[in-house]
């Protein structure tokens, strides 16, 4: 192993160690001044936003592609900043994986995106029945070519490259009732490889739930972003709607339809467009 490779490995190891120590210190500090948050997430995940932690899979009609999402977002601590202003600290770890179908239950992995970071959120009321919430996420995402890229079972030249970005994302949301929430936000990428990806990503959307019965509800959401590559900006639309079967305490199964149009969510294909409809399920816990 040459000196440059050893130096690179050492730098990555040091950065990883520093991140680990920082996270442990923060959690240890908060454990002496707050209570553990149990149950559901303090800030409800954005239903249609692809960059949310999920456990589930989705089949894309027409191109024999599948997406497999594995991960979780966890509230670690809650702090009462005042009588009417709670605050939470949590973490996100998940993967977005794209697979292709080769028949006979064979699904080679084309690409995998790894996301990890920390988040903070708060809630407040201004007037009934409207409530407000906000979330801040500090995160890293990287993408990797795994079993190769193929079209109609024929491998095409898709060279792997380094895709990595560190960013901060802020979202503010207004919930008018349990049935509807609208939100807006901005992602600021301060470190990116390749550098052709633009640094600012505005975002708007809405989501909600309509109760059908004691155990069934209709969940829906729409997410809109503007993503730029080499200063050429494109709209990205993501929509999700499905039926949720609640088993206990907002936990259960979600059978859902997906729609997506715009720049690919996968980093290996960040400069390519995707357009598909899909069907899948998620485990909600």
Q: Give pLDDT tens digits for 231-250.
A: 999 999 999 999 999 988 88
Which of the given ranges, 2-6, 40-44, 160-164, 216-220, has the highest pLDDT on average? 216-220
210 and 158 housed in the same domain: yes
Residues 16 and 142 grouped into a single domain:
no
Q: Say how far apart CA 105 and CA 242 lie, in whole Å.
A: 25
Per residue in 141-156, pLDDT (tens digit) is 999 987 776 665 555 6
Residues 107 and 10 in one domain: no
Work out the average pLDDT over 136-141. 98
Residues 158 and 82 in one domain: yes
Nearest-angstrom CA–CA distance, 222 and 205: 5
- Considering the domain architecture, whether residues 198 and 239 belong to the same structural domain is answered as yes
The pTM of the full predicted model, rounded to 2 decimals, is 0.82
| Same domain, yes or no: 251 and 233 | yes
Please indicate, yes or no, whether residues 184 and 212 belong to a single structural domain of this protein. yes
- Token digits of residue 77: 């601590």
Q: Are residues 26 and 44 both part of a single domain?
A: no
Q: Is the pLDDT of residue 38 over 50?
A: no
Q: Torsion-angle region of residue 26: left (phi > 0), alpha (psi -120 to 50) or beta?
A: alpha
Which residues, 6 or more positions from 101, have their beta carbon under 8 angstroms from its beta carbon? 64, 65, 66, 107
- pLDDT score of 268 more than 60: yes
Q: Which domain holds residue 8?
A: 1-33
Output the domain CATH number for residue 66: 2.40.230.10
Q: Lowest-confidence range among 100-109, 171-180, 189-198?
A: 100-109
Q: Are residues 2 and 71 in the same domain?
A: no
Q: Each residue of 55-108: pLDDT tens digit? A: 999 999 877 789 999 999 999 998 888 877 899 999 999 999 998 877 777 788
Same domain? For 73 and 110 the reply is: yes
Give the total number of structural domains in the chain: 2
Confidence class of residue 9 from pLDDT cuts 50, 70 and 90?
Answer: very low
Q: Determine the longest span between alpha carbons in the chain, in angstroms.
A: 65
Residues 112 and 136 in one domain: yes
> Higher confidence at residue 262 or residue 24?
262
- Do 185 and 262 lie in one domain? The reply is yes
- Residue 37: pLDDT above 80? no
Nearest to 40 by CA among 115, 82, 90: 90
Residue 17 has pLDDT above 70, yes or no: no
pLDDT reading at 258 higher than 80? yes
């Amino acid at each position: 192993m040459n000196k440059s490779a050893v130096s690179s490995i050492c730098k990555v190891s040091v950065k990883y160690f520093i991140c680990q120590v920082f996270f442990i210190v923060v959690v240890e500090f908060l454990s002496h001044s707050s209570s553990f948050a149990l149950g559901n997430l303090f800030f409800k995940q954005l239903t249609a936003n692809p960059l949310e932690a999920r456990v589930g899979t989705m089949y894309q009609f027409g191109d024999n592609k599948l997406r497999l999402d594995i991960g979780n977002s966890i509230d670690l601590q809650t702090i009462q900043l005042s009588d009417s202003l709670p605050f939470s600290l949590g973490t996100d770890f998940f993967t977005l994986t794209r697979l292709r179908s080769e028949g006979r239950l064979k699904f080679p992995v084309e690409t995998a995106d790894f996301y990890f970071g920390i988040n903070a959120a708060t809630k407040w009321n201004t007037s009934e029945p409207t409530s407000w919430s906000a979330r801040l996420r500090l995160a890293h995402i990287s993408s990797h070519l795994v079993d190769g890229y193929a079209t109609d079972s024929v491998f095409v030249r898709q060279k792997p490259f380094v895709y990595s970005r560190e960013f901060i994302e802020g979202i503010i949301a207004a919930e008018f009732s349990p049935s509807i929430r609208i939100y807006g936000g901005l992602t600021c990428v301060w470190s990116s490889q390749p550098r052709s990806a633009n640094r600012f990503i505005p975002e708007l959307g809405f989501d909600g739930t309509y109760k059908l019965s004691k155990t069934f509800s209709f969940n829906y959401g729409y997410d809109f972003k503007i993503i730029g590559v080499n200063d050429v900006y494109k709209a990205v639309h993501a929509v999700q709607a499905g039926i949720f079967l609640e088993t206990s305490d907002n936990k259960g199964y979600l059978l859902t339809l997906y729609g997506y149009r715009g720049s690919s969510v996968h980093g290996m294909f960040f400069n390519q467009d995707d357009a598909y409809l899909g069907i899948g399920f998620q485990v909600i816990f």
